[in-house]
Amino acid sequence: MRVIFHQIHHNIHRRIYQHETHHNDGNSASQSQRPAHQTGYGLIEVLISLIVIAIGLLGTAKMQALGIANTKIAGQCGLIALQAGNLAAILHSNRGYWQVTSSEKEPASPRCPSPAGCTLSGSDTVTDPGHILIYPPTAACTHTAPCPPGRIAALDIANWMKNMHSHVPGYTATINCTNTTSTPTTCIISVRWPEKITGMNTTTATMAATQAMQIHSYFLHVQP
């Protein structure tokens, strides 16, 4: 009996050992059957995600730069429009000089006649075929010696040029007027100024690389 019991006990231990050994071998086999590249798959995904994010951030930075540049250009255009409006107000306020059909017209020479017209640039450069809008203008007027319309026009233009030059140093303004006695005088005010080119695409990027500045223009029709 003792021998039989000992043999049964031995067989039970052997079965338990074989079961545990088989279970461990199965785990080892399943682990060894995993592909070798599976451990680096997550890292590749992270790297691709970082590349996509970096490209998106670069695009966002480019859009912000373009937005800032466009805002600056829009602000400059608004300033030019205001300054051109001020120059138009100068023409409106002195019909005795600018309007040919006015009874107060003095002197008799045409006013900035087309096609050359009058050219204004910098703070003191004036080209006037009639030699009225000269710089510096003649002495200031007094109550005993009131200014004629021509001198008032010269003073107004001189003050406008100084103000314009302080805001847009590279500007050039032109006043072209049609002078006929049968119809009211009409003038075209044109203002040109330089702006730095911002590369928005391949074409403009090439232009920005080859040209330092781009010339913009603003036109305003006026009837003094």
- Give me the pLDDT at residue 173, please: 96
- Give me the pLDDT at residue 32, please: 45
CA distances from 197 to 32, 57, 65, 72, 204 (A): 62, 23, 12, 12, 7
Question: What residue ranges do the domains of the chain occupy?
Answer: 48-222
Please tell me which residue, 109 or 81, carries the higher pLDDT value: 81
- Give me the pLDDT at residue 159, please: 92
The radius of gyration of the chain from alpha carbons, rounded to an integer in Å, stands at: 42
Mean pLDDT of the chain: 76
Q: pTM for this one?
A: 0.64
Please tell me which residue, 102 or 118, carries the higher pLDDT value: 118
How far apart CA 73 and CA 162 sit, in angstroms, is 22
- Give me the pLDDT at residue 2, please: 46
Please tell me which residue, 36 or 117, carries the higher pLDDT value: 117
Mean pLDDT along residues 177-197: 85
Mean pLDDT along residues 10-37: 48
Percentages of the chain per state (helix, strand, coil), in multiples of 5: 55, 15, 30
> Helices in 33-148 by DSSP H: which ranges?
41-93, 95-98
Would you say residue 66 has pLDDT above 80?
A: no
Would you say residue 198 has pLDDT above 80?
A: no
Mean pLDDT along residues 108-132: 85
Mean pLDDT along residues 80-104: 84
Please tell me which residue, 161 or 151, carries the higher pLDDT value: 161
For 91, residues 6+ apart whose C-beta sits below 8 A from its C-beta are 98, 175, 187, 222, 224
Any bridge partners for residue 222, and if so which? 187
Percent of the chain at pLDDT exceeding 70 = 68
> In the structure, what pLDDT confidence band is assigned to residue 6 with cuts at 50, 70 and 90?
very low
Would you say residue 34 has pLDDT above 70?
A: no
Mean pLDDT along residues 67-85: 86
Q: Are 150 and 118 in contact (CB under 8 A)?
A: no
Please tell me which residue, 9 or 129, carries the higher pLDDT value: 129
